[in-house]
């Protein structure tokens, strides 16, 4: 089966998608799933020549029904609705303020191609290879790397990076308002087992067949006490599950060009509680062990939801609601994807 028949591109947005013109050489063959956030009566314009579906809040409520509350509103977390309704094996998700970056030789970077290379080659979470990705052309396993581990494990997530505007939190934005990332590191590496990372959803791909149900971006935005932690929540949950199920996560290449820094004062209002909460959330995920009986992503996620309820509920009532959202998400996933684990 051709790759074009196996991959969807998911884009959350509140505006016209003029940015797609720059991506046309790379994206035009693929199917786009556009998740319109905010006012569903607003018309979103998509450049001609793209194959796409556009879903707004009315569509989410129609398709998800009485569990639509688990899909965030007025937050980029709404992108996970696209993961829910896709029928393809692979997902690439990108924000609408991200453009084609150039490598050090001034060539356009085909981000989608690099993500697929990452996902189609194994990962090495158990021992770190000092030449980074040993499956890359011109590299291999170094002396002392056990031959029994050289087959690696399937790669579930490919996490890309950004030139220009870094993915900073609000306090760092305020302290370094003019800082720009100009450093291009030509490397891909596997994040070791037992190590968490802050996943950014603006340039990320994953194997939906391997890890799809864990890619829930939580309850964020309107009606919630927190925002801008949606992708990180999905990153923490999915990494714990990848570690448990023997799957890999890669980070590094490809780069995109991130053009627009969001307002740090607005961001601080959204992030404020999360900045405190993360000091307990991170140790919680670091210490979380899933049971041997949880052998599928959905079973792992439902177990994790109850651990969130029991282990984080003391911080704020929000975490009990989030646990409910995690369960509702899995129930919705199973309803819309009945053959996922059969």
Report the C-alpha gap between 281 and 317 in whole angstroms: 14
pLDDT digits (tens, 9 = 90+) for 75-108: 999 999 999 999 999 999 999 999 999 999 999 9
Global pTM value: 0.97
Report the C-alpha gap between 236 and 191 in whole angstroms: 12
The answer to the question of residue 86 being in a domain is yes
**Domain tally, the chain:** 1
The answer to the question of residue 270 being in a domain is yes
Is residue 301 a contact partner of residue 237, using CB atoms and an 8 Å limit? yes
Give all strands (DSSP E) within the chain, no chain letters.
Answer: 7-13, 31-36, 51-55, 90-94, 98-99, 155-164, 188-190, 203-207, 248-258
Q: State the burial class of residue 260 (Cβ atoms within 10 Å of its Cβ: 0-12, 13-18, 19+).
A: exposed
Report the C-alpha gap between 69 and 218 in whole angstroms: 11
The answer to the question of residue 162 being in a domain is yes
pLDDT digits (tens, 9 = 90+) for 260-304: 868 999 999 999 999 999 999 999 999 999 999 999 999 999 999
Please state whether beta strands 188-190 and 248-258 pair in parallel, antiparallel, or not at all (unpaired): antiparallel
Give the pLDDT score at 292. 97
Q: The domain that contains 280 carries what CATH number? A: 3.90.550
The answer to the question of residue 1 being in a domain is no
CA 86 to chain centre: 15
Return the SS3 of 109.
coil
User: Please, which pLDDT band fits residue 34 given cuts at 50, 70 and 90?
Assistant: very high
The answer to the question of residue 2 being in a domain is no
The answer to the question of residue 341 being in a domain is no
The answer to the question of residue 191 being in a domain is yes
Q: What is the mean pLDDT of the chain?
A: 96
User: Please, which pLDDT band fits residue 72 given cuts at 50, 70 and 90?
Assistant: very high
The answer to the question of residue 68 being in a domain is yes
Half-sphere exposure of 201 (CA within 13 A, CB side): 29
Is residue 198 a contact partner of residue 232, using CB atoms and an 8 Å limit? yes
- Parent domain of 57: 7-336
């Amino acid at each position: 089966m051709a790759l074009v028949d196996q991959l969807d591109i998911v884009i959350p947005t509140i505006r016209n998608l003029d940015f797609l013109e720059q991506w046309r050489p790379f994206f035009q063959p693929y199917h786009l799933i556009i998740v319109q956030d905010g006012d569903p009566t607003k018309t979103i314009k998509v450049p001609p020549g793209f194959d796409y579906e556009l879903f707004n809040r009315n569509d989410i409520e129609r398709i998800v029904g009485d569990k639509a509350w688990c899909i965030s509103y007025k937050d980029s977390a709404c992108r996970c609705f696209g993961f829910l309704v896709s029928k393809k094996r692979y997902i690439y998700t990108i924000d609408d303020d991200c453009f084609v970056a150039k490598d050090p030789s001034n060539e356009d970077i085909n981000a989608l191609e690099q993500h697929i290379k990452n996902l189609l080659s194994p990962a090495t979470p158990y021992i770190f290879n000092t030449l980074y990705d040993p499956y890359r052309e011109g590299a291999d396993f170094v002396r002392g790397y056990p031959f029994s581990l050289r087959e690696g494990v399937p790669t579930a997530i490919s996490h890309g990076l950004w030139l220009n505007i870094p993915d900073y939190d609000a306090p760092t934005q305020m302290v370094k308002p003019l800082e720009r990332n100009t450093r291009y590191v030509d490397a891909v590496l596997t994040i070791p087992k037992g190590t968490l990372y802050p996943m950014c959803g603006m340039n990320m791909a994953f194997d939906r067949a391997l890890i799809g149900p864990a890619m829930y971006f939580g309850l964020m935005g309107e009606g919630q006490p927190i925002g801008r932690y949606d992708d990180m929540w999905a990153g923490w949950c999915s990494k714990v599950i990848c570690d448990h199920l023997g799957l890999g996560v890669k980070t590094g290449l490809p780069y995109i060009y991130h053009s627009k820094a969001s307002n740090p004062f607005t961001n601080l209002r959204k992030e404020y509680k999360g900045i405190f909460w993360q000091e307990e959330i991170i140790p919680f995920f670091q210490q979380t062990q899933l049971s041997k009986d949880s052998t599928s992503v959905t079973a792992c996620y439902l177990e994790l939801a109850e651990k969130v309820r029991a282990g984080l509920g003391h911080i704020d009532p929000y975490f009990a609601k989030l646990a409910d959202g995690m369960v509702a998400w899995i129930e919705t996933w199973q309803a819309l994807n009945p053959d996922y684990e059969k």
